[in-house]
C-alpha cells in the first residue's frame, strides 16, 4: 500500500498562481494573529523551512523517499516535522524512532490519513487499508492461504519461459512478475482470470498513480478547487466508476452461478474470496458489516495491496541477481540442490539463502518506501516532542533500511548480512520495515512472500539468466520510477536458458 508521488507536477503547474494569491492572505492572517495573545510554546521536532501556504509541499519531488531521507540526514533528525499545505506531517527515518512510535504509541497511530481522493477511490474508506480501526476493519483483515493457485500459476510461467527461450526471445521479467501476481490475486479473489483483462490492469495503474498523487487541493482545504481545475477529481470519478462497474459485474456473475466450483481453486482452498464474502453476506454471519460496497472494497484491497507490491519485489530481486552473478550462482546452487525440476512450496523451507536474498532486497528496495501513511488520533508526546492530533505520519522504510548508523556498506547488496537473522527478527528489531508495523501492518505478508519465493525459486532453479546482447552486469540500469511503489524505471529484460 502506498501513497506519495509523481502526479504532483500536474497540480504544481498551478502552484505559482496559488502561491502569490495566498501569500497576501497568509501575511494578513499572521499580522492579526500576532496581535492576539500567543498560546504556550510547544516542543516541536526539527523542521526544514517552508513557504507560506504550501509549507514543504514543493520539496517532495519525484522520489519522496529519497528527498525525505536526505532531509533527515541533513538535519541529523530521526524525526522531523514537515508542513504539507495546512497539514503537519511527522517524518520517521530511523528504526529506533519507528520502534518508539509503533511499540509505545501503536494505538494512537492506527488510523490512516483521511484524504478525499483516497477515500473516494476506496468506497468511502471501506477497504481494510483505508478503514478506521474498529470492528469492521478487524473483521475484514484476513487473507487465506491458496497455495495451489500459486503453484499452478507459477508452473504456467515456467512453461511460457521455456517456450520463449526456445524461440531465443528476450524475457521481460517486469512483465512476468506483474502478470503472475495479477493472475494469482485474480484467481484468489474471483476464482478465475476473466477479469484480469488489459483494461483492469490499466485501471489499476491509474489508481496507483492517483494514490501516488500529492494533490494540492487535498492538503490545503481552501484550495479544493485546484483538484477540480487540474482534472484530478474527474480522473478519480472515472477510475472509481470503471472499477465499480467491473466489480459489480463480478458480483452479479457469482450470484447467478452460485460460486466457482471447488475444483477451479484447488481442493484445500475451497471458494474464491468473492464467494466467501457473498456467502457471509447471505448468511448474515457478518451482521451489518458486509454491504455490497464493503464486498467490492475488500476485493479492491487485494488488488491494490497485493499485485504491484509483490511484482515489484520479484523485479528487484531478479535485477540484483543479474547484477551480482556470484550471488545468482550461490542461490541457483541452493535451489537446484533442494529441488529437482519445478520447485514447490514445501521445498521453500529448506532454502535459507533464498530468504536472505529476499530480505536483503526488501532492505534496499522496500516496495512501498513510505509505507501507507497514518494519522495521529490524539494530541500526544512522542520522543519528547509535542504533536497535534491530525498530524500525518510518514515512516521511511527506505531510509531505515539504508541507515549508515545501523548497516555497514548500506548501499551494497549483501544477502549474507541476514545469515543469522530471520525476517521476523529484523522486523521485531525495526531493522527493516517493508511490511509496516503494529496493528496496521501488512495483511498479506505471508501470502506475498510465498508467491514471491515460489516464483523466484522457479526462475533461478529452472533457468540460467543473462542480460541481452552480452550486456555487462554492472551496466544494468537500476534507476527507479516512483508510483506509490518503487519500480525499476525501465522494464527488466533478460535471456533465459532452461537447465
Which positions from 136 through 195 interact with ligand HEM, judged by CB under 6 A? Answer: 141, 143
Q: Which three cell numbers stand for residue 199?
A: 483494461
* Shortest reach from residue 62's CB to ligand HEM, in Å: 20
Which CB, 215 or 303, lies closer to ligand HEM? 303
Q: Is 436 in the site for ligand HEM (CB under 6 A)?
A: yes
- Tell me the CA distances in angstroms from 442 to 53, 75, 320, 381, one per residue in order: 34, 30, 24, 26
Residue from 186, 368, 387, 459 touching ligand HEM (CB under 6 A): that is 368
Only one residue has cell 513557504, namely 51
Q: Three-class SS of residue 359? A: helix
61: which residues sit within 8 A by CB, 6+ positions away?
A: 8, 67
Contact 369, 405 (CB under 8 A): no
* Shortest reach from residue 366's CB to ligand HEM, in Å: 6
Residue from 150, 235, 324, 440 touching ligand HEM (CB under 6 A): that is 440
Q: Is 484 in the site for ligand HEM (CB under 6 A)?
A: no
* Shortest reach from residue 442's CB to ligand HEM, in Å: 3
Which CB, 15 or 448, lies closer to ligand HEM? 448
Half-sphere exposure of 204 (CA within 13 A, CB side): 27
Residue from 339, 399, 443, 455 touching ligand HEM (CB under 6 A): that is 443
Residue from 218, 301, 347, 375 touching ligand HEM (CB under 6 A): that is 301
Residue from 88, 212, 213, 305 touching ligand HEM (CB under 6 A): that is 305
Which CB, 233 or 426, lies closer to ligand HEM? 426
Q: Is 309 in the site for ligand HEM (CB under 6 A)?
A: yes
Count of residues interacting with ligand HEM (CB under 6 A)? 27
Q: Is 217 in the site for ligand HEM (CB under 6 A)?
A: no
Contact 376, 108 (CB under 8 A): yes
Residue from 367, 415, 461, 484 touching ligand HEM (CB under 6 A): that is 367
Contact 237, 230 (CB under 8 A): no
Q: Is 120 in the site for ligand HEM (CB under 6 A)?
A: no
Q: Is 380 annotated as a binding residue?
A: no
Helix-, strand-, coil-residue percentages of the chain, each rounded to 5:
55, 10, 35
Only one residue has cell 477479469, namely 195
State the CB neighbour count (10 A cutoff) for residue 35: 6
The two most distant CA atoms of the chain are separated, in Å, by 79
Residue from 45, 213, 401, 444 touching ligand HEM (CB under 6 A): that is 444
* Of 51, 48, 47, the residue nearest 19 (C-alpha): 51
Q: How far apart are the first and last CA of the chain?
A: 37
Alpha carbon distance 191, 261 (integer Å): 8
* Shortest reach from residue 400's CB to ligand HEM, in Å: 12
Contact 436, 371 (CB under 8 A): yes
* Shortest reach from residue 157's CB to ligand HEM, in Å: 17
Which CB, 165 or 396, lies closer to ligand HEM? 396
Residue from 441, 464, 471, 493 touching ligand HEM (CB under 6 A): that is 441
Q: Which three cell numbers stand for residue 358?
A: 529476499
Residue from 306, 401, 415, 484 touching ligand HEM (CB under 6 A): that is 306
Residue from 97, 302, 455, 456 touching ligand HEM (CB under 6 A): that is 302
Q: Which DSSP string corresponds to 405-457?
A: TTSSSTTS--GGGGTT--HHHHHHTTS--TT--GGGS-S-HHHHHHHHHHHHH
Which CB, 127 or 233, lies closer to ligand HEM? 127
Q: Is 128 in the site for ligand HEM (CB under 6 A)?
A: yes
Alpha carbon distance 410, 91 (integer Å): 20
Q: Is 1 in the site for ligand HEM (CB under 6 A)?
A: yes
Q: Is 72 in the site for ligand HEM (CB under 6 A)?
A: no
Alpha carbon distance 150, 310 (integer Å): 12
Q: Is 296 in the site for ligand HEM (CB under 6 A)?
A: no
State the CB neighbour count (10 A cutoff) for residue 87: 19
Alpha carbon distance 412, 478 (integer Å): 13
Can you give the binding site for ligand HEM, defined by CB under 6 A? 1, 128-129, 141, 143, 301-302, 305-306, 309-310, 313, 367-368, 371-372, 434-437, 440-444, 447-448
- In the annotated binding site for heme, the residues are 442
Amino acid at each position: 500500500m502506498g501513497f506519495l508521488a509523481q502526479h504532483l507536477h500536474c497540480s504544481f503547474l498551478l502552484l505559482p498562481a496559488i502561491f502569490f494569491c495566498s501569500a497576501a492572505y497568509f501575511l494578513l492572517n499572521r499580522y492579526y494573529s500576532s496581535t492576539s495573545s500567543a498560546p504556550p510554546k510547544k516542543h516541536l521536532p526539527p523542521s526544514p523551512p517552508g513557504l507560506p501556504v504550501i509549507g514543504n509541499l514543493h520539496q517532495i519531488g519525484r522520489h519522496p523517499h529519497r528527498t525525505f531521507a536526505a532531509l533527515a540526514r541533513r538535519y541529523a533528525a530521526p524525526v522531523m516535522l514537515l508542513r504539507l499545505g495546512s497539514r503537519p506531517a511527522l517524518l520517521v527515518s530511523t528504526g529506533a524512532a519507528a520502534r518508539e512510535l509503533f511499540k509505545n504509541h501503536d494505538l494512537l497511530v492506527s488510523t490512516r490519513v483521511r484524504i478525499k481522493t483516497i477515500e473516494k477511490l476506496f468506497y468511502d474508506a471501506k477497504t481494510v487499508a483505508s478503514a478506521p480501526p474498529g470492528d469492521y476493519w478487524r473483521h475484514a483483515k484476513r487473507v487465506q492461504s491458496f497455495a495451489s493457485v500459486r503453484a499452478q500459476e507459477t508452473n504456467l510461467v515456467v512453461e511460457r519461459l521455456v517456450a520463449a527461450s526456445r524461440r531465443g526471445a528476450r524475457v521481460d521479467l517486469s512483465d512476468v512478475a506483474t502478470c503472475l501476481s495479477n493472475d494469482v490475486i485474480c484467481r484468489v479473489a474471483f476464482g478465475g482470470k476473466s477479469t484480469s483483462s488489459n483494461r483492469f490492469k490499466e485501471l489499476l495503474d491509474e489508481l496507483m498513480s492517483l494514490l501516488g498523487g500529492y494533490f494540492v487541493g487535498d492538503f490545503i482545504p481552501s484550495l479544493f478547487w485546484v483538484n477540480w481545475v487540474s482534472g484530478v477529481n474527474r480522473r478519480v470519478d472515472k477510475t472509481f466508476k470503471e472499477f465499480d462497474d467491473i466489480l459489480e459485474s463480478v458480483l452479479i456473475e457469482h450470484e447467478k452461478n452460485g460460486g466457482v466450483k471447488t475444483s477451479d481453486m484447488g481442493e484445500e482452498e475451497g471458494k474464491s474470496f468473492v464467494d466467501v464474502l457473498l456467502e457471509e453476506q447471505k448468511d448474515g454471519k457478518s451482521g451489518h458489516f458486509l454491504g455490497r460496497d464493503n464486498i467490492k472494497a475488500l476485493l479492491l484491497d487485494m488488488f491494490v495491496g497485493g499485485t504491484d507490491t509483490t511484482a515489484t519485489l520479484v523485479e528487484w530481486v531478479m535485477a540484483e541477481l543479474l547484477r551480482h552473478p556470484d550471488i545468482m550462482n550461490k542461490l541457483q546452487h541452493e535451489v537446484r540442490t533442494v529441488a529437482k525440476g519445478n520447485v514447490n512450496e514445501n521445498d521453500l523451507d529448506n532454502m535459507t539463502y533464498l530468504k536472505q536474498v529476499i530480505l536483503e532486497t526488501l532492505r534496499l528496495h522496500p516496495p512501498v518506501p513510505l509505507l501507507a501513511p497514518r494519522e495521529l488520533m490524539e494530541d500526544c508526546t512522542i520522543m519528547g516532542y509535542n504533536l497535534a492530533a491530525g498530524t500525518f505520519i510518514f515512516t521511511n522504510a527506505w531510509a531505515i533500511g539504508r541507515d549508515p548508523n545501523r548497516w555497514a556498506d548500506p548501499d551494497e547488496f549483501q544477502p549474507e548480512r541476514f545469515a543469522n537473522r530471520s525476517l521476523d527478527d529484523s522486523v521485531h528489531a525495526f531493522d527493516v520495515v517493508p511490511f509496516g508495523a503494529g496493528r496496521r501492518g501488512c495483511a498479506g505478508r505471508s501470502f506475498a512472500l510465498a508467491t514471491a519465493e515460489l516464483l523466484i525459486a522457479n526462475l533461478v532453479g529452472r533457468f540460467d539468466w543473462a542480460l541481452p546482447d552480452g550486456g555487462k552486469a554492472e551496466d544494468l540500469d537500476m534507476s527507479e520510477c516512483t508510483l506509490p511503489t518503487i519500480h525499476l524505471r525501465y522494464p527488466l529484460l533478460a535471456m533465459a536458458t532452461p537447465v
